[in-house]
Amino acid sequence: MTINTTIPNLRELPSSLPLEGAVKLELEEGIPIFRASLLVQDRIEQLLFKQKGSSLSNDEERELDSYEEIDDYLGFVNRTIRNTIQQR
């Protein structure tokens, strides 16, 4: 069975993204799900909090955009895994 989807494109990874421990793997109803680690989630929250109170620097805006792209990518991976398992 072929899944016809468009794979999100990552332009770059944020420089603040840790090389190890950036993504954690959890099981939901027996299906592996990839999620950003607490460290990464904390950094995103810091950027969003700062964005609400004032403007972000250009570098911070790019960093936040990169995290959004990573979130889209992880969402794609998770949907693909979930759909593949459910179609069996």
Query: Cα(7)–Cα(45) distance, rounded to whole angstroms?
Result: 26
Determine, yes or no, domain membership for 3.
Answer: no
Q: What is the pLDDT of residue 5?
A: 64
Asked if the model's pLDDT at residue 6 lies above 90, the reply is no
Determine, yes or no, domain membership for 65.
Answer: yes
Query: Cα(33)–Cα(26) distance, rounded to whole angstroms?
Result: 5
Determine, yes or no, domain membership for 6.
Answer: no
Query: Cα(27)–Cα(13) distance, rounded to whole angstroms?
Result: 25
Q: What is the pLDDT of residue 88?
A: 79
Determine, yes or no, domain membership for 48.
Answer: yes
- Look up the domain containing 42 and give its range: 23-86
Determine, yes or no, domain membership for 52.
Answer: yes
Confidence of residue 53 (pLDDT cuts 50, 70, 90): very high
Confidence of residue 86 (pLDDT cuts 50, 70, 90): confident
Number of domains, the chain:
1
Determine, yes or no, domain membership for 17.
Answer: no
